[in-house]
């Protein structure tokens, strides 16, 4: 049985015995060399609560008021999830301290589920979980402090530092935190803060790290601390300190230049002497205009590969990319979003080439995208579909002998969207399997001055019945 109870105030009464294997209490639990994995707690008028951790039930502290959980002296505790600060009025604290002391959870741990939570991993203590959230619900607050050599919090899944509430992560003194994707400020109105400080202190994101996803995020890396991610989504203004961040892809509010001088490696300054080391190897995403504005330029025969491409990732952002010159290439194994949620511009010129699995020009409602492919040898090649005005407003210009190709092409896909294509000039060509002009919204196609549009079948007007 799992119990969630306010033991200290009287939710449990009488003089009998209750046996449980997990839960969250307003009370203090200690698992150590003295207590082992069994606690005997008093309640009511002589009642006994027998609390034995069996590894199959959730474990936490702080149900309505306050509670604490301490794992020390080499104790090994297992659970199926954990909640610290269960109700909005509660405060829950867990400390895992000392070499050999472990808390292994088969499910996610919420630090500040609806109330206030604190997780301390100190002096070689270790926590393993499928994921973690600091500040889960609106109004909640969660703090995790991982400090000391050998101290670790290892997550097999994602970590949210402020999902709906407020969250803080501190990794200090040579400690380590790892997860798949990391989010600082996931939903709007949330606030997430992370500090990675000291030689040997690391935060490893095997997937993406988003600093201020839809909410507010701040990342400080200092005094030898290191943060790594496959793709970093951030504004340089939200990065602080003098430490090091490494990434294989970025979607940034910054200006990126890939040419014969820079190659596919960039070193960007942030904070008070911090360094973002970017090495593009095709495994991470690449884009500019995360929340504010950014530009991307590929020239002088440089070839750049990425997973997904994004220009203007968030509402209100502006992102511009220019691919120019023979041999200059941007190849995306996933989709390319020109105007993801903001205002995006793609210009391919003078023999530059762009490749993608599929393309969106004006993806989300309210977004705007413009793609200009111009000049002989300039190409945008999609192995899949191309939406010009997916749910937003999109414009495609193919001119002066340039070429665009895809499977199905859509000029205005969603209701309320607008899509416009202008194919102009001798040798200019747009090749489609099927082409729909005005699928659900308003579409316009202009072919002039020797331009050419090829398709197996087409529809001018609303989608077929």
The residue behind tokens 């600060």 is 85
What is the C-alpha separation between 170 and 153, in angstroms, rounded?
11
Q: Copy the structure tokens of residue 324.
A: 């120019």
What is the C-alpha separation between 414 and 364, in angstroms, rounded?
9
The dihedral built from the CA positions of residue 8, 10, 15 and 17, taken in this order, carries a sign that is negative
In a domain? residue 188: no
In a domain? residue 185: no
Query: pTM of the entire structure?
Result: 0.93
Q: Specify the pLDDT at position 314.
A: 96
pLDDT in tens, the chain (465 residues): 444 444 343 577 777 777 777 777 888 889 998 888 887 877 777 788 777 788 888 999 999 999 999 999 999 999 999 999 999 999 999 999 999 999 999 999 999 999 999 999 999 999 999 999 999 999 999 999 999 999 999 999 999 999 999 999 999 999 999 999 999 999 999 999 999 999 999 999 999 999 999 999 999 999 999 999 999 999 999 999 999 999 999 999 999 999 999 999 999 999 999 999 999 999 999 999 999 999 999 999 999 999 999 999 999 999 999 999 999 999 999 999 999 999 999 999 999 999 999 999 999 999 999 999 999 999 999 999 999 999 999 999 999 999 999 999 999 999 999 999 999 999 999 999 999 999 999 999 999 999 999 998 766 555 554
Q: Specify the pLDDT at position 8.
A: 41
What is the C-alpha separation between 302 and 283, in angstroms, rounded?
17
**Contact assessment for residue 162 and residue 137, using Cβ atoms and an 8 Å cutoff:** no
What is the C-alpha separation between 140 and 457, in angstroms, rounded?
55
In a domain? residue 224: no
Q: Specify the pLDDT at position 4.
A: 47
Q: How far is CA 87 from CA 4, 92, 109, 150, in A?
A: 10, 10, 15, 32
**Predicted confidence (pLDDT) per residue in 25-48, tens digit:** 888 889 998 888 887 877 777 788
What is the C-alpha separation between 24 and 59, in angstroms, rounded?
6
Burial class (CB in 10 A: 0-12, 13-18, 19+), 415: exposed
What is the C-alpha separation between 120 and 135, in angstroms, rounded?
15
C-alpha 384: how far from its chain's center? 25
User: Into how many domains does the chain fold?
Assistant: 1
C-alpha 268: how far from its chain's center? 20
What is the C-alpha separation between 278 and 299, in angstroms, rounded?
18
Q: Which residues pair with 360 in a beta bridge?
A: 337, 387
**Contact assessment for residue 61 and residue 67, using Cβ atoms and an 8 Å cutoff:** yes
**Contact assessment for residue 180 and residue 152, using Cβ atoms and an 8 Å cutoff:** no
Q: How many residues in the chain?
A: 465
The residue behind tokens 């604490």 is 68
For residue 205, the tally of other CB atoms under 10 A from its CB is 23
Task: Residue 424: give the domain boundaries.
Answer: 286-465
In a domain? residue 24: no
What is the C-alpha separation between 312 and 321, in angstroms, rounded?
10
What is the C-alpha separation between 251 and 123, in angstroms, rounded?
36
Interacting residues of 231 by C-beta distance below 8 A, sequence separation 6+ = 207, 208, 209, 247, 248, 249, 250, 251, 284, 285, 307
**Contact assessment for residue 328 and residue 299, using Cβ atoms and an 8 Å cutoff:** yes
In a domain? residue 452: yes
Q: Specify the pLDDT at position 459.
A: 60
Q: Which residues pair with 94 in a beta bridge?
A: 69, 119
What are the backbone dihedrals phi and psi of residue 332, each rounded to the nearest 5 degrees, phi first?
-110, 125
What is the C-alpha separation between 450 and 434, in angstroms, rounded?
21
In a domain? residue 444: yes
Q: Specify the pLDDT at position 153.
A: 98
Strands 368-374 and 265-270: unpaired
In a domain? residue 322: yes
In a domain? residue 211: no
């Amino acid at each position: 049985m799992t119990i969630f109870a306010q033991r200290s105030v009287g939710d449990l009464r009488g003089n009998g015995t209750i046996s449980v294997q997990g839960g969250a209490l307003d009370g203090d639990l200690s698992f150590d060399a003295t207590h082992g994995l069994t606690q005997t707690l008093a309640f009511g008028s002589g009642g006994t609560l027998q609390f034995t951790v069996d590894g199959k039930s959730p474990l936490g502290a702080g149900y309505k008021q306050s509670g604490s959980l301490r794992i020390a002296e080499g104790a090994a505790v297992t659970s199926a999830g954990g909640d610290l600060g269960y109700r909005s009025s509660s405060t829950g604290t867990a400390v895992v301290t000392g070499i050999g002391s472990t808390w292994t959870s088969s499910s996610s741990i919420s630090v500040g589920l609806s109330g206030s939570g604190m997780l301390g991993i100190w002096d070689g203590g270790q926590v393993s979980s499928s994921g973690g959230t600091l500040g889960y619900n609106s109004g909640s607050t969660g703090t995790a402090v991982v400090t000391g050599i050998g101290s670790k919090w290892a997550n097999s899944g994602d970590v949210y530092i402020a999902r709906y509430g407020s969250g803080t992560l501190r990794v200090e003194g040579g400690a380590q935190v790892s997860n798949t994707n990391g989010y600082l400020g996931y939903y709007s109105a949330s606030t997430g803060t992370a500090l990675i400080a000291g030689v040997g202190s690391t935060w490893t994101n095997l997937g993406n790290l988003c600093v201020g996803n839809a909410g507010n995020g701040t990342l400080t890396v200092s005094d030898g601390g290191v943060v790594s991610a496959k793709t970093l989504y951030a504004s340089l203004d939200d990065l602080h300190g003098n430490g090091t961040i490494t990434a294989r892809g970025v979607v940034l509010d910054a200006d990126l230049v890939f040419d014969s001088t820079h190659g596919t490696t960039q070193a960007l300054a942030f904070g008070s002497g911090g360094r973002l080391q970017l090495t593009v190897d095709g495994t991470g995403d690449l884009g500019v205009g995360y929340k504010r504005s950014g530009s991307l330029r590929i020239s002088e025969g440089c070839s750049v590969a990425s997973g997904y491409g994004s220009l203007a990732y968030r509402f209100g952002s502006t992102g511009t990319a220019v691919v120019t010159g023979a041999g200059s290439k941007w190849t995306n194994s996933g989709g390319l979003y020109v105007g993801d949620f903001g205002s995006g511009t793609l210009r391919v010129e003078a023999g530059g080439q762009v490749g993608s699995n599929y393309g969106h020009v004006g993806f989300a409602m309210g977004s705007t995208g413009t793609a200009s492919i111009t000049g002989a040898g300039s190409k945008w090649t999609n192995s899949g579909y191309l939406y010009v005005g997916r749910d937003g407003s999109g414009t495609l210009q193919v001119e002066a002998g340039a070429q665009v190709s895809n499977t199905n092409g859509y000029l205005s896909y969603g209701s309320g969207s607008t899509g416009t294509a202008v194919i102009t000039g001798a040798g200019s060509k747009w090749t489609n399997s099927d082409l729909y002009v005005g699928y659900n919204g308003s579409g316009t196609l202009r072919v002039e001055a020797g331009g050419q549009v090829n398709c197996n079948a087409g529809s001018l007007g609303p989608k077929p019945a």
